[in-house]
Structure 1
Amino acid sequence: MAEEWTQTLGAGPLLGIAAGAVVLILFLVIKVRLHAFLTLILVSLLTAIATGIPAGDIVGVLVGGFGGTLGNVALLIGLGAILGRLIESSGGAKAVADSMVRVFGEKRAAFALGLTSLLLGFPIFFDAGLIVMLPIIFAVARRIGGKNLLLYGYSGAAAFSVMHVFLPPHPGPVAASEFFEANLGIVLLVGIVIAFPTWYVSGYLWAKFVNSRYPMIVPSLFGGKDDDLPQNPPKTSTVAWILALPLLLIFLNTGLDALRSIGVVDADELWVQSLTLIGTAPVALLITVLVALLVLGRFRGENGSALEKLVEGTLGPVASVILITGAGGMFGGVLRESGIGDALSGSLADLGLPVIFAAYVIAVILRVAQGSATVALVTTAGLIAPAVTAGDFSMVQVAAITLAAAAGSVFASHVNDSGFWLVGRLMNMDVKTTLKTWTVQQAIESVVGFALVLVIYAIF
């Protein structure tokens, strides 16, 4: 592999190559109409060659970027899709949708879905939470009718994004907190303070705006058909408990982590390891899928062969989502392996900005250049950690700097980010529409979050 290879190109040429690669992707997908999966593989290969990665290492870099991304999302997408299809096909999603419209009314349904997604997004990662919640979101949108995909879809998706970016126990703010030696509890409190207004502006209000500009019909989800709903749907409370199960299991894991960190429980004990295992996201979703197969399938009279066909019919449509998401991760992986992050880090180290501004600006540039929010955040934290730990900052100010870097790391998701492809494909949008709606949403989320963090920094 490429550990022994040293990049000789500077930041300028590397940025030029990256920009050219992005333009080529857009041209091939939008103008030539080449499938996104093939486009991303082709451009990843050409970018690896152009940036000078040794020929013997290129295939390993491509496969590593592809596999590294799929390792994080393939299980979550697959299991989440099965769970979502079970909820949808049983009539459970429609039952929940009817209840939400009855309780909140049609005008407040999108707002209520966003708030629900904020709560669900606290323990569960962005991709898993979005996939599990989409059947409910789409069912509510269909229940109210009209071309309202973006109003409901983005109200929910933005909520999961905000929680994933700004709140522990999600990995970004946790990693940055460790670099900056920030108090994780204060980071959590500041994150909670800014989460709702950030979502309201960049999620709910933006969703209302783009829905008026780009009205789109809600697509079928995971290969399902709208006219397949049974006559005996489950109760809303049953669906709610099934949706809550993975969240409770993941919360259990989070609580054990906290208890281990303060020495209350021993991480080596078997019962702690067992509970930690079932609280990891893939295992929690697997358990929930098995419960759903029983409660929404067997216990309602569905036989094994019908459930097997349902699962099989679900995995086919999501295979495209998984492969394209992995290919997006491949492209981002090539950019990272090329050394663009290291080259930019050296160029950005002496910006001369106040620390909180430097944290945000560096994270924004790294995010746009190479795609990975985690890499952008961790690299930024490594660059400015000495200035933060040596500075005379209050604990609240350190937390604000931490979240400023987190805000920068979400800026303007585009074609080098696997999340861009995940959202676009799940909502059946073309690349141009995803750029005009989701990329801008992520930029607004970043700017609004940073502005709120800046206010807190100035006050405390």
Structure 2
Amino acid sequence: MTEIEPVYGAGILLLIAAAAVALLLFLIIRLKLHAFVALVLVSLLTAVAAGIPIADVPAALLTGFSGTLGSVALLVGFGVMVGRLLEITGGAQVLADTLIARFGEKHAPLALGVAALIFGFPIFFDAGLVVFLPIIFTVARRFGGGILRYGLPTAGAFAVMHAVVPPHPGPVAAAAAMGGNIGLTLLLGVPVAVVAWFLGVHYVARHLSARYVIDIPTAVFGRMNGGRDQDADGGTGDGGTGDGGTGDGGTGAGGASTATATQAPPRFGTVLFLLLLPLVLISLNTVVDTLVKAEVVAEGQAWASALILLGQTPIALLITVLVALAVLSRGRFSMGQATGILDDALGPICSIILITGAGGMFGGVLRASGIGSALTEALSDLGMPILLQAFFIATVLRVAQGSATVALTTTSGLIATQVAAEGLSDVKITLLVFAVAAGATVLSHVNDSGFWLVSRFFGMDVKTTLKTWTVLETTLGLAIFLIAALLWLVTG
């Protein structure tokens, strides 16, 4: 559903959005209402309050929900399947041992972060995080210190690559809208992302993880003892049958665990191959798609279309699941037992997917209400230096409607005329892209579907997620902007 013509001005819409966020936090934190129910309820009330026609309210709700599910459900589903297979066969342990042997126990968070920076080059934030979850959990179990010690640096690495570095859609769209050079954005984006990660994520995560020690969650991986699990909001939830239970089509994950206990774990090369497979497929998609758009490769060629299809993120992860089953099952478990393993992986993520989809619904309602258009009009002439203006507008749009990509594209389109009028160089335009990306990164909160993904995967309640992930995203965004501002001064 597209935005409606705003019924109210930007000030009223901002007040409605602020009241909606406050109500949502009250329902979840104080009344302990389930996050999924609270998000749907507040989305409905916000749609009505913002003046969306009653007949269009269901469409406004479902558009944001289905759009988020469409991008998240397949990625999370296939990702946790790969993760569960690596965990139960010992592959995640092998990779963790190898990383720690190279970097040392003290630098384990750094090792995971650096690996995520590399893997995050072509892979979107949510897909990369899901694939890395079993490694994060395995390292956390071995060395202790809580899940955030290892999870925050990894998630922050995927976040900065997604925000700053092409071929991710946000920086590509921003550079194109302002007439920038995408190749230069890539060349400068990689070192900017790495430095911003060290400054805004690595050191900050060390402090946050020491202050907020979160036990390793059992909702996704590692449900080794069955029973009742502690849920993310501080209550208790039904942990379901443990790994020794039965699954559809054969023995459950516990049977497979017994079968693999006497088998040697997969080699490091095998595990690395399984992690690199989706990376390579997605990279091929990106390269071929870029060549087609640049008219280097003729559109419609069979081999190009095939590579573009195979490199679509859900397809790449599906292929990885099938290859992982073929490679890891040898001598370890039957296909019937594999069904139980995959069932065990999929069951706990239902809540995660629904809550993430509801978070997308809330952000979608705010966008459909016309808040983006109203803010764009109100912010179009701020009288600020253009670099600061780019950061400020993107920040306001990010906070108001949740989507970093929408904030990136809207802000870059808004200032594109001014950029053209000032005749800025390609380097200056690239720095503007980084400033917009910085604003679109800060202050991730309850209207951002990524906020809920991190919250549920790392077993945090809303209050703790605001104190950790929101803070980390903000320091990351500020680090990106600081680097862009310094380079702006240096380039004259």
Residues 100, 111 of structure 2: 8 Å contact kept = no
The aligned amino acid for 1:278 is L
Question: CA offset at residue 231 of structure 1?
Answer: 3.4
1:264 corresponds in structure 2 to 296
1:86 corresponding residue in structure 2 = 85
1:245 is displaced (CA, Å) by 0.3
CA contact (8 A) 1:167 1:191 kept: yes
State how 1:379-394 maps to structure 2 within 5 Å. Answer: 379-394=410-425
Aligned AA for 1:400? L
Give 1:220 shift. Answer: 2.8
1:197 partner amino acid: V
Matches within 5 A, 1:164-243: 164-220=162-218, 222-226=220-224, 228=257, 230-232=261-263, 233-243=265-275
Give yes or no for contact 1:97–1:143 (8 Å, CA) kept in 2. no
2:125 paired with 1:126: yes
Match of 2:394 in 1: 363
The 2-side partners of 1:7 and 1:141 are apart by 48
Look up the match of 1:157. Answer: 155
What's the offset of the Cα at 1:264?
A: 2.5
Q: CA deviation at 1:262?
A: 3.3
CA offset digits 1:411-448 (Å, max 9, x no partner): 11000000000000011110000000000111111111
Q: Distance in 2 between matches of 1:103 and 1:7?
A: 56
For normalisation by structure 2, the TM-score amounts to 0.91
2:451 is equivalent to residue 452 of structure 1? no
In structure 1, the residue matched to 2:322 is 290
**One-letter code aligned to 1:74:** A
Aligned to 1:138: 137
3-state DSSP of counterpart to 1:108: helix
- What is the letter of the counterpart of residue 171 of structure 1? P
1:36 corresponds to which residue? 35
1:286 counterpart letter in structure 2: L
Of 312, 317, 335 in structure 2, the residue corresponding to residue 304 of structure 1 is 335
More displaced 10-residue stretch of structure 1: 387-396 or 126-135: 387-396
Query: Matched residue of 2:303: which SS?
Result: helix
Amino acid at match of 2:319: I
Counterpart check, 1:58 vs 2:78: no
CA contact (8 A) 1:115 1:159 kept: yes
Cα deviation, 1:326-348, whole Å, max 9, x if unaligned, reads 00000000100111111111110
Q: What is the rounded CA distance, in whole Å, between the counterparts of 2:454 and 2:177 in structure 1?
A: 30
- The yes-or-no answer on 1:70 pairing with 2:69 is yes
Mapped contact 2:149–2:209 kept (Cα < 8 A)? yes
**Counterpart contact for 2:214–2:459, Cα < 8 Å:** no
Percent identity for Structure 1 against Structure 2: 51
Question: Aligned match of 1:432 in 449, 459, 463?
Answer: 463
User: Deviations for 1:257-298, whole angstroms, at most 9, x for unmatched residues?
Assistant: 23223332112111110111001111111000100011112x
- Residue identity matched to 2:70: G
Q: Which runs of 4+ in 1 moved over 3 A?
A: 223-229
Structure 1, unmatched stretches of 5+, are none
Instruction: Tell me if structure 1 keeps the 8 A contact 2:128–2:158.
Output: yes
1:151 and 1:204 in contact (8 A); partners too: no
Change (3 A) 1:406 1:364: same
Structure 2 residue runs without a partner (length 5+): 226-256
Aligned letter for 2:154? G
Give me the CA root mean square deviation: 1.3
| Alpha-carbon distance, 1:224 to partner | 3.2
Alpha-carbon displacement from aligned partner over 1:209-236 (angstroms, at most 9, x marks no partner):
0111111222236243357473321112
Partner of 1:6: 5
The answer on whether the counterparts of 2:219 and 2:349 sit within 8 Å (CA) in structure 1 is no
| 2: CA distance, partners of 1:372 / 1:12 | 20
Question: TM-score, normalising length from structure 1?
Answer: 0.97
1:377 counterpart residue number: 408
d(CA) in 2 for partners of 1:209, 1:301: 41
* Residue of 248, 270, 275 corresponding to 2:307: 275
Distance in 2 (alpha carbons) for counterparts of 1:139 and 1:2: 43
Partner residue of 2:366?
A: 335
More helix by share: 1
Structure 2: distance between partners of 1:42 and 1:219: 27
Contact 1:25 1:43 (8 Å CA) reproduced:
yes
Instruction: Give the whole-Å Cα distance in 2 for the aligned partners of 1:119 and 1:311.
Output: 28
Where do residues 12-23 of structure 1 align in structure 2 (5 Å cutoff)?
Answer: 12-23=11-22
Match of 2:282 in 1: 250
